[in-house]
Homo-oligomer: A and B are copies of this chain.
Amino acid sequence: MSTPVVSELAPPLRLLLGPGPSMVHPRVLRAMSTPLLGHLDPKFLEIMNEVQAQLRAVFRTENPFTIAVSGTGSAGMEAALVNLLEPGDTAVVVVAGVFGGRMADIVGRCGARLVKIDVPWGEVCDPARIEEALKREGKVKVVALVHAETSTGAHQPLEGLGALCHAHGALLVADTVTSLGGVPVEVDAWGVDACYSGTQKCLSCPPGLAPLTLSPRALEAVKARKTKVQSWYLDAGMVADYWAEGKRVYHHTAPISMVYALRESLRLVLEEGLEARFARHRRHSAALMAGVAALGFEPQAQEGHRLPSLNCIKVPAGVDEAAARKGLLADHSIEIGGGLGPLAGKVWRIGLMGESARQENVLAVLAAIEQALAKQGKLARAGASLAAALESYARS
């Protein structure tokens, strides 16, 4: 129990191009260092109102229940599922990667019956399979799936799924952790009943909060529960009484500085405009993908369903991917992500999310990858990726 000697905080500066966290704008960092208000201060309650309005704009919803859960993205997933499910319920979960698998795990911990739709990693789910499950399984309470599968880079279409679920009396739960703020998310238009995200991806805010919105239909289901929500911390009914204007009943202490950060990051998102932001993500992803293609990397995700925010690419045979990633970090201070689960050692995940999606970053990571490949004698033609990326930029 000796006193540890801990020196002044001085981490190296990184270019964050992994699956998150993404780069954070200086305005957001500065907002976080603002002296605190109390979590029940009338001025903080005004800030909560503002954040709720901003989140509704980004989620494209009118849902009154639109909040920031006091935890990271996975807490958002857990909040969505534990509030909607109780023992005896049935949930259909699409598993096309790590995060679908996590949903399935949580469904089990809720004591609900799990109906899994397995999809090869990198592919998206055909809505016909969901319809088939809804017809076959009888009373389904929840259909849950991942909009942007961070482990594969696949971009699951959600349009029409809300109506399909509602026609069968089910609720639609969507994970938009790696999509919100980077590609279109239309909660109301798509009929998503519970939609959550994380702050550290396309919103470019540090991790620590999970935006969550619940439709009136989802709230009805919460109210109709026979049992208490298994999580006190994430109990939507109690949390709602804190976030609801005019109520503000103390539940737990909100992470005030993180709310400041989220507010500032959402200001930046809305100043840029959602459409412009989505276009920026597409533009830089196209250049990156052109560049890596010139080096022999192929996309992991199915054509037509690739996320611009999370570019998952197959590492060419013969390349020591771990050594190359280490070189990127050590020699260039650039972080990219490796593969998860069955894709470990096989793919790279290059995030171009929020502030990270910039031309200078795309060119920097391509140059660094070229150097790493050259070190292993695996670079066919120096400059090929940069030429391809510049050509892509010239076209866009």
Contacts and interface: CB of A to CB of B under 8 A. Distances in A.
Interface of A: 1-4, 6, 9, 11-14, 16, 18, 20-21, 23-24, 29-39, 41-44, 47, 50, 53-54, 56-57, 60-62, 70-75, 77-78, 82, 102, 105-106, 108-110, 188, 198, 200, 206-208, 228-233, 250-258, 260-261, 263-264, 266-267, 270, 329, 335, 340
Contact of A263 (B9, B16, B37, B251): B9
A41 B260 contact: no
A233 B32 contact: no
A325 B20 CA distance: 43
Nearest to A188: B1
A251 B71 CA distance: 13
A39 B201 CA distance: 13
16 contacts: A1-B61, A9-B34, A9-B47, A11-B35, A11-B47, A32-B33, A72-B254, A72-B255, A74-B252, A74-B253, A77-B232, A78-B232, A78-B233, A110-B230, A207-B257, A230-B231
A336 to B, nearest CB: 10
Contact of A231 (B35, B78, B188): B78
A9 B254 CA distance: 17
Given A11-B44, A14-B37, A14-B41, A253 B200 contact: yes
A217 to B, nearest CB: 18
Task: Give the residue among A30, A109, A253, A270 with the most B Cβ atoms within 10 A.
Answer: A253
A35 B24 contact: yes
A257 B208 contact: yes
Contacts of A61: 1
Contacts of A257: 32, 206-208, 257-258, 261
Nearest to A107: B232
A20 B256 CA distance: 11
A268 to B, nearest CB: 11
Given A9-B34, A16-B36, A32-B32, A60 B232 contact: no
Chain B CB within 10 Å — which of A57, A206, A251, A270 has the most?
A: A206
Nearest to A50: B6
Nearest to A108: B228
Contacts of A4: 50, 53-54, 56-57, 270
Given A109-B230, A263-B9, A270-B4, A207 B253 contact: yes
A110 B50 CA distance: 35
A47 B13 CA distance: 15
B56 A1 contact: yes
Given A21-B39, A71-B233, A78-B233, 5 more contacts: A4-B50, A11-B37, A14-B36, A70-B75, A198-B253
A253 B75 contact: no
B75 A233 contact: yes
B72 A252 contact: yes
A34 B289 CA distance: 31
A222 to B, nearest CB: 15
Contacts of A60: 1
Contacts of A6: 50, 53-54, 263, 266-267, 270
